[in-house]
């Protein structure tokens, strides 16, 4: 087991704070809706990463691995279905219309974000601070990146750490480290994002009830 130098831990923490700030200004520089700008920026970054690590693509996307790594995604989906069913007994469901961009949240965005945060940012932080602290910093970085941490917002004290993205990032880090594959991470990310259109279509009340897990400044899921 490799020994991590003491200075690597503060360096990892510094990167954890600096990277979301850089990403926030990158998103702002693209004259589109923030979530779409973030998706395009992460798409470009993911393409660069895939070109750099193209020799490992088979392992990360196609190699066989234990199906138990998909249990978290199945658990989230089961929770959503039970929540929708259970809430219908207390009042009439409040239904809405699923927007087109919701479908992008469960298809395009999980792929590019997992490549950027698990392969790129997560990979660098794990090399710097080891699997445990590197994964923690990667999950924290993922959560902070969903809050648009610009200098103006930081100085105003408007930035917090949303529990939902932090938990998602932590579980995806665990899945990637243990399985060596991006597929369980992408599937879990997609299922978590799919909860939004599911609740919109079947019962929007759950979006308010689960709102404590997220911040309204979230740019993508």
- Write out the DSSP string of 62-123: TS---GGGGHHHHHHHHHHHHHHHHHTTTS--------HHHHHHTTHHHHHHHIIIIIIIHH
What is the torsional sign of CA 101, 69, 121, 145?
Answer: positive
* Per-residue confidence in pLDDT tens, the chain, 221 aa: 456 888 999 999 999 999 999 999 999 999 999 999 999 999 999 999 999 998 888 889 988 889 999 999 999 999 999 988 888 787 777 888 888 888 888 899 999 999 999 999 999 999 999 999 999 999 999 999 999 999 998 888 877 889 999 999 999 999 999 999 999 999 999 999 999 999 999 988 888 888 777 754 445 45
Q: How much is the pLDDT for 218?
A: 44
Residue 169: which of 195, 143, 196 has the closest Cα?
143
**Residue-wise pLDDT tens digits, 54-64:** 888 888 998 88
What is the torsional sign of CA 201, 205, 210, 215?
Answer: positive
Q: Give CB contacts under 8 A, 24+ apart, made by 133-137.
A: 133/4, 133/9, 133/12, 134/12, 135/170, 135/173, 135/174, 135/177, 136/170, 136/173, 137/12, 137/13, 137/15, 137/16
**Residue-wise pLDDT tens digits, 131-166:** 999 999 999 999 999 999 999 988 888 778 899 999
Q: pTM of this prediction?
A: 0.92
Q: How much is the pLDDT for 2?
A: 57
């Amino acid at each position: 087991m490799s020994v991590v130098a003491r200075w690597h831990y503060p360096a990892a923490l510094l990167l954890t704070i600096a990277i979301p700030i850089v990403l926030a200004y990158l998103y702002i520089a693209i004259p589109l809706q923030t979530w779409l700008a973030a998706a395009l920026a992460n798409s470009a970054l993911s393409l660069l990463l895939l070109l750099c690590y193209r020799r490992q693509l088979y392992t990360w996307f196609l190699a066989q691995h234990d199906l138990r790594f998909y249990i978290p995604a199945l658990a989230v989906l089961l929770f959503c279905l039970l929540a929708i069913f259970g809430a219908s007994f207390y009042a009439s469901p409040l239904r809405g219309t699923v927007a087109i961009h919701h479908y992008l949240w469960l298809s395009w965005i999980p792929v590019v974000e997992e490549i950027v945060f698990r392969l790129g940012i997560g990979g660098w932080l794990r090399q710097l601070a080891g699997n445990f602290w590197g994964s923690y910093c990667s999950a924290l970085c993922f959560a902070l990146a969903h809050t648009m941490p610009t200098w103006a917002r930081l100085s105003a004290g408007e930035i917090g750490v949303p529990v939902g993205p932090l938990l998602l990032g932590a579980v995806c880090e665990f899945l990637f480290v243990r399985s060596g594959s991006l597929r369980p991470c992408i599937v879990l990310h997609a299922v978590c994002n799919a909860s939004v259109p599911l609740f919109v279509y079947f019962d929007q009340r759950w979006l308010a009830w689960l709102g404590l897990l997220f911040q309204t400044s979230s740019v993508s899921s």
